[in-house]
A = this chain, B = another copy of it.
Amino acid sequence: MDNPQNTRERILDSALNLFSRKGYHDTRMDEIVEESETSKGAIYFHFPSKERLFLALMDQFASLLERRIREAIEQEDEGMQRVRAALTACLDTFGKYRLPAKIMLVQAVGLGAIFEKKRLEVNDHFANLIRTYLDEAIKVGDISPVDTEIVSHAWMGAIYSVVIRWVYTGEPEPERILSTLLPLLLRSVSYDDSIA
């Protein structure tokens, strides 16, 4: 009927909707079949298992986030401006992709070992990305030395938590998040952002 790429994407799309709304365990494969208007056969042709289907969604979003952050960093000069750009890109991407964000930050938590591994992997990856540029900022002299391992994880947590709240309640608006959270984070390492 349609081309296979289309079917695969319809499946991913419906899975994204259902998983993000109802969570992994409360979403039945048959529901994904119904919503995507495909069939059990189609799903299991494109994905070997429910688990892998979910992981595919996680990967999809992780790649997107990674790409966006890297692009943002590349356009800035060395030092704290890069950290700032990374945080902005991160918040911006979460803001633009609400459903995948919820999958990543909420629905992927507390599932078994496989998902947890992937989640921690992605999480650590971004924390380390932030950490690298924080270290750079310290080297360059933009900020004074801090325990960047803890700072980077604390930052991720701060962002996640505010974003999660926004995902659920729609408040506060992304605009207000950005304008409050960013200065907050930068201040936490004694960086004055008043140049913006």
Contacts and interface: CB of A to CB of B under 8 A. Distances in A.
Contact of A154 (B26, B151, B161): B161
Interface in A134-183: 146-147, 149-151, 153-162, 164-165, 168, 172, 176-177, 180-181
A128 to B, nearest CB: 12
A41 interface: no
Copies of this chain, whole number: 2
Contacts of A184: 146, 150-151, 154, 188-189
A95 interface: no
Nearest to A187: B188
Contacts of A26: 112
Contacts of A162: 150, 153-154, 157
Interface stretch (A28-36, A44-52, A66-74, A103-111): A103-111
Contact of A23 (B112, B165, B181): B112
A60 interface: no
Chain A to chain B: the 10 pairs with minimum beta-carbon distance, closest first: A157-B161, A188-B188, A109-B109, A154-B158, A157-B157, A147-B180, A158-B158, A150-B180, A107-B110, A157-B158
24 contacts: A22-B112, A23-B110, A23-B112, A25-B25, A26-B112, A107-B110, A110-B111, A146-B180, A147-B172, A150-B180, A150-B184, A153-B161, A153-B162, A153-B165, A154-B161, A157-B160, A157-B161, A157-B162, A158-B161, A184-B188, A184-B189, A185-B188, A187-B189, A187-B190
